[in-house]
Amino acid sequence: MRIWDINPGYLNRNSLLGEHRELHAIVSIIKHNKKGYSRHPETLRWKNFGWALSQRHKLLAAEMTLRGYVDRTPVLLKTQPQKWPDVFVDLPAAQFILLSKKYKNIGQGRIPLPKDVQQLWAQHQYSVMARDDAEYKYIGGWIASKKTGKGINDIYPELVSLLRCPPAEGNLKNTVWHMWDYVFQYASLNRNIYTNLQSKVYRGGKEEATQAYYNIRRGADDAANKGRRMNANWYLKEIQRLVFLHNIVYLRESTALGELQAWPCMNATKKDHI
């Protein structure tokens, strides 16, 4: 029985579905005071953290959705909102080592296990951007300097802590906006319009074309068609679709591609337009 602390994107199919089953087993033990596995280290560390267990389930469900599975078994525990257990069966960075041994001769998850701190940061940077600008700049600069000699064990505890916090509204919009820039050119909705813009620029209508381009980027063309601005949740789902359709590796291997979907702020109905 195991609940991992790393992003579910690192888990292969069997591990992902296996954790989902075992999480529900722990929920059942906690809710119904069952004796079987009640003293297991995983059960004990999650026992008083119902909200966190529910949130971990949402993260698993978001990743399952990316891989074509449908979760119909929500977890509704709410004890200690916004609190996570500070005890680990295995330290999060050590879990990469466990998985590397487990996956030695079989397929890995959506996100490859990181070989160095630079790859780890590339996988997590959008998730960090969605939480804290200062941390994003600090960690990014620290990684870019390559002078510290530190590795995954040094940086990953901080990343785990950051990703246990819900995204900040302003940061979330900015992050989805950055991700959208990578897939915008693939959006079938804009393909013909973008081609027309290029011809307008060629004919000299640069100012008109530039304004139209930014209108398209901001989803204004979709607003004209549907009578409303699309929210961050819609954009993220469209990003997910285009990433897999066109195999955009940079975003496919990002933790943010799945985990942002798991937070309530993604489904807000007010003031969430990009």
Cα 172 from Cα 166, distance rounded (Å):
10
CB 259 within 8 A of CB 7: yes
Q: What is the mean pLDDT of the chain?
A: 86
**Residue 269: DSSP 8-state:** -
pLDDT of residue 209: 54
CA 72 and chain centroid, separation: 20
Same domain for 257 and 186? yes
Look up the domain containing 144 and give its range: 114-163
Q: Quick one: 123 and 180 in the same domain?
A: no
Spatial CB neighbours of 254, under 8 Å, sequence gap ≥ 6:
111, 123, 124, 125, 126, 127, 179
> Which residue reads 């943010």 in tokens?
256
Domain boundary among 103, 135, 163: 163
Q: Which of 98, 129, 163 is the last residue of a domain?
A: 163
Q: What sign does the CA torsion over 152, 158, 160, 162 have?
A: negative
Residues 149 and 135 in one domain: yes
Interatomic CA distance for residues 244 and 183, integer angstroms: 11
Task: Return the DSSP state at 113.
Answer: P
Any domain includes 273:
no
Please state which of the ranges 37-51, 74-88, 206-220 shows the lowest mean pLDDT: 206-220
Separation between Cα atoms, residue 15 and residue 77, nearest integer Å = 23
pTM value is: 0.84
Residue 108 clears pLDDT 90, i.e. is over it: yes
Q: pLDDT for 209-231, tens place per residue? A: 555 555 555 554 454 444 334 58
Please check whether residues 173 and 251 belong to one and the same domain: yes
**Separation between Cα atoms, residue 93 and residue 120, nearest integer Å:** 11
Domain endpoint, select from 101, 136, 163 = 163
170-202 burial, b for 16+ CB within 10 Å, e for fewer? ebbbbbbeebbeebbebbeebeeeeeebeebee
User: Is pLDDT above 70 for 87?
Assistant: yes
Number of domains within the chain: 3
* Domain assignment present for 100: no
